Structure 1
Amino acid sequence: MSLAAVIEGTREAVRADAANAAARFSVGHTLVPGTATTVDVRVRDHTFAVDEPATLGGADTAANPVEYALAALGSCQVITYQFWAAKLGVPLDSVRVTVDGDLDLHGFFGFTEGTRPGFNDVRVHVELTGPASPETYADLKRQVDEHCPVLDLFANPTPVTTTLA
């Protein structure tokens, strides 16, 4: 199914009932027995591992959580570029995104109170190729920046509730 068909089908479903715009995602996580940091993750019918590099106490069997966060941002950017290019009719031959983030371990380890445990700077570098004008791609970037769900998570506070069972 083409992105244009997905866009139009979703528009019609939401027009028929606004409740169709609500989406819920769920991810399960389990510490792998006998390990200090390896986590099995289940998303729908997909599984993957999360670990830490040896320098942070892990076995380095997979990317770590902050690397997956950067990967989520970069992947969402690529998908959102494809989606909005299709929606706007912007010709796009390729999209390449690199995401870098800086983290101060003082916060994670609690070495310094008041130091944020999360990223203190994230940089997204986007390369687009295609026959459209630079102005057209600049407008596409504005649309992507306004509508990318994971970029929104990085850029704005999101209410989070944690419970202990």
Structure 2
Amino acid sequence: MSTLREYLSHKRAALLARHETPSSGPVPLHAHVTAEGRSGVRRIRIRDFQIISDSAPDFAGYDLGPGSPELQAGVLGSCVTHIFLIKAAELEVPVDSLEVDVRAEYDPRAQQPGETGVPVYPQNFRYEVLLDSPASDEELARLHAEVERVCPILNLIRSPQEISGSIVRVGGGHPVAAGLEGRPS
């Protein structure tokens, strides 16, 4: 069975090379999502990739892909896994296999009128790392502490930030957005 050790060696070389080249600053992130006609399926486009997000039939979906809260759990798991690999390579911690299992809850009652006590967001995120490694408990604790310190999505969920939003009317119609009342269209 192939293990991750060879990959971690390759990853370490790439990380060392990356550290030698100064960063040019923040990297812009962009995702574009369209709601597909007739099905309501959300097509997420990121760079040259597409991901389908859908709802279960009880929420007028066709179950053609994971829902947004499920995708968030997957994004957290992907990021934690990637940072474990980065930090294992940097700290030279041998890893033979790595899996991350993420769990959370989302309560759809939050969408119902009068359910003011139910959070409208997924909550109680927790992850479990299934790791095969000959490293000592101390090395693994150090690895885990580093992952917790620098994992971007883990820290985003723990310390959310303000998100701004706006509506841009693209079809014919009358302006209704805040600040547009009374303006000629």
Structure having the higher helix fraction is: 1
Equivalent of 2:41 in 28, 31, 38? 38
Structure 1 position 113 matched with structure 2 position 116: yes
Determine whether 1:149 maps to 2:152. yes
Displacement of 1:4 in angstroms is 1.8
Q: After TM superposition, which residue ranges in structure 1, 4 or more long, deviate above 6 angstroms?
A: none
CA apart distance, 1:110: 4.3
Q: What is the alpha-carbon distance in structure 2 between the residues aligned to residue 10 and residue 131 of structure 1?
A: 27
Matched letter for residue 34 of structure 2:
T
Q: What letter is aligned with 2:38?
A: G
Q: Deviations over 1:57-82 (max 9, x none)?
A: 21101111111100000011111101
Where does residue 182 of structure 2 map in the other structure?
none
SS in 1 for 2:21: helix
Q: Whole-Å Cα distance in 1 between the matches of residues 72 and 112 of structure 2?
A: 19
Partner of 1:144, secondary structure, is: helix
- 5+ residue gaps, structure 2, are 1-6, 169-185
Number of residue equivalences:
160
* Residue number in structure 1 paired with 2:72: 69
TM-score by length of 1: 0.90
1:12 corresponds in structure 2 to 20
Q: TM-score, normalised by structure 2?
A: 0.80
User: 1:20-74 CA deviation, whole Å, 9 max, x = no partner?
Assistant: 2411110110000112x31111111111210011122211011111111000000
Identity %: 25
- Between structure 1 and structure 2, the one with the greater Rg is 2
User: Aligned pair 1:59/2:62, yes or no?
Assistant: yes
Once the two structures are TM-superposed, the CA of residue 113 in structure 1 deviates from its matched residue by 2.1
Please report the RMSD computed on the Cα atoms of aligned residues, expressed in angstroms.
1.6
Q: 1:109 to 1:23 in 2, by over 3 A?
A: farther
Question: Structure 1: how far apart are the matches of 2:113 and 2:123?
Answer: 16
Structure 1, unmatched stretches of 5+, are: none
